[in-house]
């Protein structure tokens, strides 16, 4: 497998017509704020009730208008598109043609225009790449049905049912044609066989096409921990991590600034092994759960403990943060519809280390709980039967409270959840310490306050969050802050600048720091 793979790497490096990498672009994702888009639910441009690429293009100025002087766009700097490749399913995670844009979403020309328009506004675009499995309707699977078919060994077949279940007790061996094929997620998603070098070679060609020829900026790897099984060991095998390291090396040969983020739904210690072996970042699921449950229940300790674990487990910033995604109940639903809590969760997400990802509609408080279709409902732009998403009947009914949470209703309100997201995204953009600085947890004096100091060179930012519905007063201890006087400027409130003093032992003396219910204080500390 490795010989075939590296031969392709060398060939791709020789023929790829990419520009030389810019040092300014290296590790660009550390400075990015991502927005996860389900194209089917974002904007319908042709009245068929389904979102499409042209609709997304029409809404790009909402996400980022490319003008740093404006403040009425969201300000995100990168997009993650859930699968846009041809698929028989609404969600697209069972792919029937890896190189064809699904007809519901448009054409390859539409994708090219999206890339051009996003790049013109300073936004990168990464694609969901489903490596683990295909659709049962993929031509490769059709030709594997014959025992002598040319792609028989592109999938995992057994003459006799091996008899074991999957990692969460599900059936993984499915009968067909007198044999059994392996499909981890369900019978309609047969797993590819990466022990076969032909499969690796083909998937590399596909990745290169999107990355080099079609100018995508990287990939989100679906189900990254399940690529190669070792008998009953069906997740986190050494072979999987080795394959991903080779895959990442191939991408770097073609496009040194390509970004790879992996879905490794596990604990930090497991995810970190993937970061050590080939992917740039993994999604931090434990941190997401701690933030939402801590904000909901008023437990700063829960968030602090999770952040401490993350900081000691990963290399600096080598993880992706988020609150919820397309597989989980929406943030506002988990926070029981409480806007103050949602605003606090946004402030925490956008001041934490790592690279933040927002799920579409999260910034206006869209609600939704399982099943999956109900957490992927259409974007709520305005009131009315189509919510500004479509002029016809939406492919999936709107959320029950759609009229109460819209972009139109929140856009001009400085106290809205949308304004909170805009404010903190811009704050992150302005301060290197918040984007890629070091992080030190600090004692803020009471269990309901979460505090940390972010530092990048001379940029020092002190952050304190109050997870309580009751106002609190902070007294800060920051052991690593150099002794001396600092001018503290309030970055999100109306406090006047004050002098604070860092003393031996880490105590920071200052006027009492009052923090309102579910409030956040962000102070920029500079030497006078």
Active site residues: 222, 263
∠ CA 419-421-427 to the nearest 5 degrees? Answer: 100
Torsion from C-alpha of 230, 234, 235, 239, nearest 10 degrees: 20
Q: Within 13 Å and on the Cβ side, how many CA atoms surround 480?
A: 11
Task: Note the Cα 312 to chain centre separation in Å.
Answer: 21
φ, ψ dihedrals at 260, nearest 5°: -130, 115
Which two three-digit tokens encode residue 95?
């792919």
In whole angstroms, give the CA distance from residue 3 to residue 263.
27
3-state secondary structure of 346: helix
Integer angstrom CA distances of residue 96 from 39, 92, 280, 373: 18, 9, 28, 21
Chain center to CA of 119: 19
How much is the CA Rg of the chain, to the nearest whole Å? 24
φ, ψ at 275 (rounded to 5°): -65, -35
- Total residues belonging to the chain: 528
- The residues, any chain, with a CB within 8 Å of residue 409's CB and separated by 6 or more, are 383, 416
Antiparallel, parallel or unpaired: β 85-86 and 97-101: antiparallel
Provide the 10 A C-beta neighbour count for residue 487: 14
Residues 6 or more apart in contact with residue 285 via CB below 8 angstroms: 265, 266, 271
Task: Report the alpha-carbon angle 57-279-40, nearest 5.
Answer: 25
**Contact, 118 vs 170, CB < 8 A?**
no
Specify the DSSP class assigned to residue 399. P
For strands 520-526 and 484-490, give the pairing.
antiparallel
């Amino acid at each position: 497998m490795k010989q075939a793979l590296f031969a392709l790497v060398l060939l791709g490096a020789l023929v790829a017509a990419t520009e030389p990498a810019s040092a300014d672009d290296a590790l660009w994702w550390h400075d990015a704020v991502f927005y996860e888009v389900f194209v089917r639910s974002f904007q319908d441009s042709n009245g068929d009730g389904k979102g499409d690429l042209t609709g997304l293009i029409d809404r790009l100025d909402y996400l980022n208008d490319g003008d740093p002087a404006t403040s009425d766009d969201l300000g995100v700097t990168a997009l993650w598109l859930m699968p846009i490749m041809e698929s028989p399913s609404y969600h697209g995670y069972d792919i029937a043609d890896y190189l064809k844009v699904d007809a519901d979403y448009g054409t390859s020309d539409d994708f090219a225009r999206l890339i051009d328009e996003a790049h013109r506004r300073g936004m990168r675009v990464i694609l969901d790449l489903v490596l683990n499995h295909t659709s049962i309707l993929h031509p490769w699977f059709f030709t594997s049905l014959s025992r002598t078919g040319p792609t028989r060994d592109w999938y995992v077949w057994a003459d006799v049912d091996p008899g074991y279940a999957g990692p969460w007790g599900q059936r993984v061996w499915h009968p067909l044609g007198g044999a059994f094929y392996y499909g981890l997620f369900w019978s309609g998603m047969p797993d590819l066989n990466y022990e076969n070098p032909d499969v690796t070679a083909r998937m590399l060609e596909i990745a290169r096409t999107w990355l080099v020829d079609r100018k995508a900026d990287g990939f989100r790897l679906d189900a990254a921990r399940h690529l190669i099984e070792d008998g009953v060991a069906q997740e986190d095998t050494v072979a999987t991590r080795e394959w991903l390291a080779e895959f990442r090396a191939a991408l770097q040969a073609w496009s040194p600034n390509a970004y790879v983020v992996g879905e490794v739904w596990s604990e930090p210690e497991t995810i970190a092994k993937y970061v050590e072996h080939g992917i740039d970042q993994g999604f931090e699921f434990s941190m997401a759960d701690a933030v939402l449950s801590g904000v909901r229940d008023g437990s700063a300790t829960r968030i602090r403990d999770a952040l401490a674990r993350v900081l000691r487990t990963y290399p600096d910033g080598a993880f992706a943060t988020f609150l919820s995604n397309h597989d989980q109940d929406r943030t506002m639903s988990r926070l029981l519809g409480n806007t103050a809590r949602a605003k606090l969760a946004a402030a925490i997400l956008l001041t934490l280390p790592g690279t933040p990802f927002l799920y579409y509609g999260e910034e206006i408080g869209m609600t939704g709980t399982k099943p999956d279709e109900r957490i992927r409902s259409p974007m709520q732009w305005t009131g009315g039967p189509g919510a500004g998403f479509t002029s016809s009947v939406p492919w999936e009914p709107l959320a029950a409270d759609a009229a109460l949470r819209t972009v139109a209703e929140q856009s001009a309100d400085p106290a809205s959840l949308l304004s909170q997201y805009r404010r903190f995204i811009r704050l992150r953009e302005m301060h290197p310490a918040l984007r890629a600085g070091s992080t030190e947890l600090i004692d803020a004096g009471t269990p309901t306050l979460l505090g940390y100091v972010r530092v990048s060179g001379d940029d020092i930012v002190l952050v304190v969050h109050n997870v309580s519905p009751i106002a609190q007063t902070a007294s800060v201890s920051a052991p690593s802050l150099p002794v001396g006087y600092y001018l503290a400027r309030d970055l999100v409130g109306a406090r006047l600048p004050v002098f604070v003093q860092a003393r031996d032992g880490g105590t920071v003396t200052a006027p009492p720091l009052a923090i309102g219910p579910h409030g956040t204080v962000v102070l920029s500390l500079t030497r006078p």
